[in-house]
Structure 1
Amino acid sequence: MKHALAGIEAVTFRLPTGEYLPAHFHVTEVGLVSKHFIDCGGVERRETVVNFQLWEAGDYDHRLAPQKFLHILNLSEKILGSEDLDIEVEYQQATIGKFGLTREGNDFVLTPKQTACLAQDACGVPAAQQFALPQLQVAACTPGGGCC
């Protein structure tokens, strides 16, 4: 991400809908998040990501310059280390949204994240009953229908 900040004039984040975050957003946190868990198949797992928290307030004159963002990232190196980790972004919407991050041109693009069963072979859900999230939103579940 640091190399991407070197060649741009403004830091812009775009939501999956195509909308841009307001130009007066803040980076309120840069952190290292570790998750140690057991999946539904009983397998112990660990995940570690770099986490940015983006926030907007009523200070409409605020603008995060690429040099300032780079300075924040440099300060966070003592926590993040030098490992190349995935980046996760939190952004306040109706609730805190969690996104992946990619880059398109000069924009940083927040990408949707989805839940998934990590032990599909062990959790007992037949493949015919596994739906992608968009399908679940439109599927009609009825008692005894097997989907709820």
Structure 2
Amino acid sequence: MNTQEFLNVLQENRHKSLLFEYQPGNLVKANYHITEVKNITVDSVDCGTGTDFWKETVVQLWESPSEIGKTEFMSASKALGILNKVDRIKPMVKDAELKLEYGNDGFHTAQLYVSGYSASDEALKFTLSVHRTDCKAKETCGVPETTEENNLKTTLTSCAPGSGCC
């Protein structure tokens, strides 16, 4: 989901409680705050010497320890207000991929992708997920396209020292 799509969904559901499911059945607690919005530029070189460039928007969620036990979630309207204020100060790239950065005592901090959302009469829930790392230079490194189960074995043998891959 890109930044503009996220903003549009918030606008369409502005009077609903805003929930984030970071793992199946696990929600970011109601005491969360939006603590930072990052405009990220990635300028990269992969292991096959291929270059890439893209932008991302990262919205950081943090659970306030002083509000443990809070039961009322932030509204989509409040989140939209925060993001619009940020956009006036540091404009967000609207077609950039959106990620939510989150972690707690039982879940390592990670940048999570929006894999879907659902809306009921009362709440808007975004489902978050991780993407696995991958070799972008499979052809250059001699890593054949295989099933996910065999990818690890193939990568370990194909990206060995002296194979042409990092």
TM-score by length of 2: 0.70
Task: Give unpaired runs (5+ residues) of structure 2.
Answer: 1-5, 161-166
State the 1:124 CA deviation: 2.7
Number of aligned positions between the proteins: 139
CA distance in 1, matches of 2:19, 2:136: 33
Instruction: Report the more deviating stretch, 59-68 or 33-42.
Output: 59-68
> CA 1:18/1:63 → structure 2, altered by over 3 Å: closer, same or farther?
closer
Q: Which residue of 1 aligns with 2:75?
A: 65
The answer on whether the counterparts of 1:31 and 1:76 sit within 8 Å (CA) in structure 2 is: no
Q: Which residue of 2 aligns with 1:103?
A: 117
User: In the alignment, which of 34, 51, 58 is matched to residue 51 of structure 1?
Assistant: 58
CA distance in 1, matches of 2:77, 2:91: 19
Letter in 1 for 2:7: K
Q: Which residue of 2 aligns with 1:2?
A: 7
CA distance in 2, matches of 1:17, 1:81: 29
Tell me the SS of whatever aligns to 2:128. Answer: strand
Alignment of 1:19 with 2:26, yes or no, is: yes
Sequence identity (%)? 24
> CA 1:132/1:55 → structure 2, altered by over 3 Å: closer, same or farther?
farther
Tell me the SS of whatever aligns to 1:15. Answer: strand
User: In the alignment, which of 85, 94, 97 is matched to residue 96 of structure 2?
Assistant: 85
CA distance in 1, matches of 2:102, 2:39: 16
Task: Give unpaired runs (5+ residues) of structure 1.
Answer: 140-144
CA distance in 1, matches of 2:23, 2:125: 12
Q: Superposition RMSD on alpha carbons, in Å?
A: 2.7
> CA 1:67/1:33 → structure 2, altered by over 3 Å: closer, same or farther?
same
Task: Encode CA deviations 1:22-80: one digit per residue, 9 max, x unaligned.
Answer: 11111111111111110111111112111011111221347422222111110121423
Task: Encode CA deviations 1:118-148: one digit per residue, 9 max, x unaligned.
Answer: 11101233445x7459x86xx8xxxxx9499
> CA 1:82/1:112 → structure 2, altered by over 3 Å: closer, same or farther?
closer
